[in-house]
Amino acid sequence: MNRIHWPRDTIARRFALTIVLAALTTIGLNQIYFNVEGVLGLPPIGRPELLDQARIVTKLIEAASPPARPRLAASTGIKDFQVDWYADRSHVVPLSENAREVTFSPEAIQRFRGDTKWNVAFFESEGNIAAPSKKQHALTKPEKIFMVVELHDNSLVVFTAPRQNWELAHAKRIGIVLTLLIFSVVALSLIAARQLAKPIEQFSEAVRRFGADTRAPQMCEAGPQELRVAIKAFNAMQAQIQKFVADRTSMLMAISHDLRTPLTRMRLRGEFIEDAEQQTKLFRDVDEMHAMIDAALDFFRDDAETEQTTQFDLSELLRTIRDDYTDQGIDIPYYGPEHQVYLGRPMGLKRVFTNLIDNTVKYGTQSEIELTCLEKAISVAIKDRGPGIPSEFLQQVFTPFYRLEGSRSRKTGGVGLGLTVVRTVVHSHGGDIVLRNRDGGGLEAVITLPFSG
């Protein structure tokens, strides 16, 4: 059994299909226009070419025998008009009673009469005296205009047509058709462009998300063939980078773990050093290295763990951290909304805010927490009053194991991974952190977290 091979979903195919659909839509709209336009598209009864046709029909009816005239009138009707023949005026009395006579230009009447000397009168009415043209759409109920011609034997020929309330010139009708064409092309082009732009936007969002979080899931292959090829290549690159990061993390964890063994041996051998001063210095260095290794292992474990993203109340999280410090006798005011829902990893962000507030408590005074809702992001500022950080070191403090001297000394500080962890977690949320010194002394750490989705 032969399988049917459908054309590939390519960008070129989508453009071609859009053009075809635009053409078909234009044809359909034009057909609807011609069907429902009513009196807009019908020519006026006083046009010279129509009067010439009506004159010929009248002559044919007058030349025929009376019994044949009704059938001849019905069969020789002009397009968009109805022709009726009546033997006497009695059949036309309802017309004169329910319609009013109107005046047409003498030139038009003379053109119709010629040398026949027929009596011609025009009437208009909204009544249902004569059946409307079969071409007239049922949705419209225009006024009717009648041209009554009295023949030489006193019989009557009546031409009935819808009145032209809005006489559209040929140029205007072409303008309407062109407007429908432009409308259909623009509408379908916008729809097609949106259908094409949507997977491209998703692809861009996936690239941005992966740039902020290497653990981001791979995106589904959707869209035209060219875009699916690009997505497939991106997913393969993402998988290789994720494998590389995982291997790097595992290697660093193994190295950090294995360093504990020689450090333990160094401490045991230090017990046999008789010089007490040298022994103390050695033990201090070993303890510091142990602390650095433990901090590094904690950092790598947190980086390797995958906390699920969930919605939580960021304001409540900040107030919870503030209450924990209040229980320790440390008053940290909070400024911001009572509730602010955010999509992220709450435990990771809690570690970020805790690390920053710990620094304000250790190295400054008058700590503050301020939450501000921006148009497309949330800003959290952790402030203090204290010595601050020299401007040349505001970026360098994020370097792993980097510690400032002076007020942020080795004795009072950690091993130099706190701010590294903070920046890593913030970047994994697609945000950023900026440190700046405050006027009047102190430091301000501003975290900007974009709204996800």
What are the residue boundaries of the structural domains of the chain, listed by start?
Answer: 42-162, 225-301, 308-450
pLDDT band at 375 (very low <50, low <70, confident <90, very high): confident
Residue 240 has pLDDT above 60, yes or no: yes
Distance CA 446, CA 234 (A): 33
Give 336's contacts (C-beta < 8 A, 6+ positions apart): 315, 318, 369, 370, 371, 372
pLDDT band at 141 (very low <50, low <70, confident <90, very high): very low
Fold of 225-301: Helix Hairpins (1.10.287)
Measured from the Cβ of residue 98, the count of other Cβ atoms closer than 10 Å reads 13
Residue linked to tokens 């890593």: 424
Q: How confident is the model at residue 327, as a pLDDT?
A: 87
SS3 148: strand
Give 356's contacts (C-beta < 8 A, 6+ positions apart): 382, 422, 445, 447
The mean pLDDT of 369-379, rounded to a whole number, is 89
Residue 136 has pLDDT above 50, yes or no: no
Mean pLDDT comparison of 113-117, 191-195, 222-226, 372-376, highest-scoring range: 372-376
Give 266's contacts (C-beta < 8 A, 6+ positions apart): 282, 286
Residue 251 has pLDDT above 80, yes or no: no
The mean pLDDT of 269-274, rounded to a whole number, is 79
Q: How confident is the model at residue 415, as a pLDDT?
A: 62
Residue 88 has pLDDT above 50, yes or no: yes
Specify the CATH superfamily of domain 308-450.
Histidine kinase-like ATPase, C-terminal domain (3.30.565.10)
pLDDT band at 328 (very low <50, low <70, confident <90, very high): confident
Residue 220 has pLDDT above 60, yes or no: yes
Q: How confident is the model at residue 318, as a pLDDT?
A: 92
Q: How confident is the model at residue 193, as a pLDDT?
A: 78
Residue 410 has pLDDT above 70, yes or no: no
